Chain A
């Protein structure tokens, strides 16, 4: 399978450079720090918590923080995908090979999401490590992990698209960060606008849909939001790369 071959090569190149290791370590370190802080705060004030459970505060809290860390990290992972290929000329190898643009985009996308999912598994191990000592709401945890996974799929697709736009990895990274951050906080614009516009802004916000999943509410609207956003950007990437070959500018 061409897509898997491309994904594997992409992953192998990622791990051949220190970048992948560094980013995985950063995600793990920051998530572990917040996990520890949340856990010790929960233990210190166990009585006053009342109806809030361990899973809801510690596990969901850790996943939410991880979402923000992933937002900061993804631009550095996706910037290389196509920007680097354009800058170093290796894009010629791909374009002149009997490989379709769709296979290229999906292969690279799969490679980078596999790396992000490794981080997801590592982060998920932390709340799961509490399991021998105390019962967890596994359903709630699963919903939260699903939310984080969807978030990663979405971020990677946006980053991948932006990396097709420029041959400068740094430009790609900054633009990706700006786009992700905008989608994250756009509900703030929603709270100050009125009427239908407010609803649109609020609905567009990644944070809102992510939070719903973290609360354990798996609604098809939220899942569809992430899937639609992700596939839209993948489709745009395919169009954009096709246009690089055929358009006359």
Chain B
């Protein structure tokens, strides 16, 4: 294991009775990276994360955490790594400060350092003046912040966040995403979500899991570059026959979305959007929408997780 690898997962499987929730999972988490962990609902994301942080034990396989195995040396391992479930584990009847001090004690921070740890966690999560408030009375966004604050209180190496923006309003989502981005510098972050733009805006590397198997482990950059085709979506008031669109420069495939709307997949080296615009003017198609589709992640996700049985991932 290289010095940069903080968590190494090898051949981890977990069964619930007969049901296989996670099957032979293997990947690494490197220092300081933000890792997007994607998958449809029920793919095994939460189970994997619970195994990573020691809430669940794996049926087989091993999780090593910059050294110690999570089961054998769980005390030492657990201080390096922290898990924030989708519903943050908050005691509604506690005050924010009371709760954060308790979390600091649970993580075995020495009493002398607890005050400073609580203060800096609150400051980083924008909870400066909320210390004396009852957790149950906070808004959902603030509760999420308290959840993240308790997670980073003992400065763990790895923070695992399970759908941290679920149920928040758009402003809160932006704030929480910014907070996650800031965490990236000092901690490695594993971000589980099924919101693809979230991954695109915050993560550097992405894992896709489907039916308990890892089907993709790649950096976002190489994912963008490796996409075979670009695509553009076109809306026309007087649409021509699809064959006519097919004949434009570089077009490989035309998908008819509705009578007026098409998606064109074209070769990466061709300048199809310009060709479409020029043709639309010359032949009076009534072009009113021309949107480049930069969602290679979404396409990859759909291709890998819809229908067909999962296949093993290519190495990153």
User: What is the interface of chain A, defined by CB distance below 8 A to chain B?
Assistant: 2, 5-6, 9, 12-13, 16-17, 88-100, 245-246, 248-249
Q: In the complex, how many residues of chain B place their beta carbon closer than 8 angstroms to a beta carbon of chain A?
A: 35
13 A-B pairs within 8 Å (CB atoms) are namely A12-B98, A13-B94, A16-B94, A88-B92, A92-B50, A93-B103, A96-B83, A97-B78, A97-B103, A97-B106, A98-B76, A245-B56, A249-B17
Most buried by B among A9, A97, A249: A97
Asked if B15 and A248 make an inter-chain contact with CB atoms under 8 angstroms apart, the answer reads yes
Asked if B87 and A98 make an inter-chain contact with CB atoms under 8 angstroms apart, the answer reads no
Q: Mark B48-65, 1 if CB is under 8 A from A, else 0.
A: 001001111101000000
Most buried by A among B15, B16, B57: B57
Select A89's contact among B59, B87, B93, beta carbons within 8 Å. B87
Asked if B82 and A96 make an inter-chain contact with CB atoms under 8 angstroms apart, the answer reads yes
Docked complex Cα distance between A90 and B75 (Å)? 19
**B268 on the A face (CB < 8 A):** no
Asked if B102 and A98 make an inter-chain contact with CB atoms under 8 angstroms apart, the answer reads no
Closest to A99 in B: B106
Chain A nearest CB from B246 CB (Å) reads 53
> B residues 55-112 with Cβ under 8 Å of A?
55-57, 59, 74-76, 78-79, 82-83, 85, 87-94, 98, 102-103, 105-108
Chain A nearest CB from B66 CB (Å) reads 15
Docked complex Cα distance between A99 and B107 (Å)? 8
Asked if B16 and A249 make an inter-chain contact with CB atoms under 8 angstroms apart, the answer reads yes
Asked if B107 and A98 make an inter-chain contact with CB atoms under 8 angstroms apart, the answer reads yes
Instruction: Tell me which residues across on chain B come within 8 A of A97, comparing CB atoms.
Output: 78, 103, 106-107
Closest to A5 in B: B105
Instruction: Tell me which residues across on chain B come within 8 A of A6, comparing CB atoms.
Output: 106
Chain B nearest CB from A148 CB (Å) reads 29
Chain A nearest CB from B167 CB (Å) reads 14
Docked complex Cα distance between A79 and B27 (Å)? 41
The list of the 10 closest CB pairs from A to B, nearest first, reads A93-B89, A97-B106, A90-B89, A98-B75, A246-B57, A98-B78, A16-B93, A95-B55, A89-B87, A96-B53
Chain A nearest CB from B181 CB (Å) reads 24
**B14 on the A face (CB < 8 A):** yes
**B150 on the A face (CB < 8 A):** yes
Instruction: Tell me which residues across on chain A come within 8 A of B76, comparing CB atoms.
Output: 98
Q: Mark B17-60, 1 if CB is under 8 A from A, else 0.
A: 10000000000000000000000000000000010011111010
Chain A nearest CB from B24 CB (Å) reads 16
Docked complex Cα distance between A60 and B89 (Å)? 45
Select A92's contact among B57, B83, B91, beta carbons within 8 Å. B83
Closest to B95 in A: A16
Instruction: Tell me which residues across on chain B come within 8 A of A5, comparing CB atoms.
Output: 102, 105-106
Closest to B82 in A: A96
Docked complex Cα distance between A208 and B15 (Å)? 47
Instruction: Tell me which residues across on chain B come within 8 A of A246, comparing CB atoms.
Output: 57
Docked complex Cα distance between A96 and B50 (Å)? 9
Chain A nearest CB from B89 CB (Å) reads 4
Asked if A92 and B89 make an inter-chain contact with CB atoms under 8 angstroms apart, the answer reads yes
Docked complex Cα distance between A92 and B57 (Å)? 13
Chain A nearest CB from B46 CB (Å) reads 10
Docked complex Cα distance between A97 and B104 (Å)? 10
Asked if B79 and A96 make an inter-chain contact with CB atoms under 8 angstroms apart, the answer reads no
Asked if A2 and B105 make an inter-chain contact with CB atoms under 8 angstroms apart, the answer reads yes
Asked if B89 and A89 make an inter-chain contact with CB atoms under 8 angstroms apart, the answer reads yes
Known: A93-B89, A96-B54, A98-B79. A248 touches B94 (CB 8 A): no
Asked if B106 and A94 make an inter-chain contact with CB atoms under 8 angstroms apart, the answer reads yes
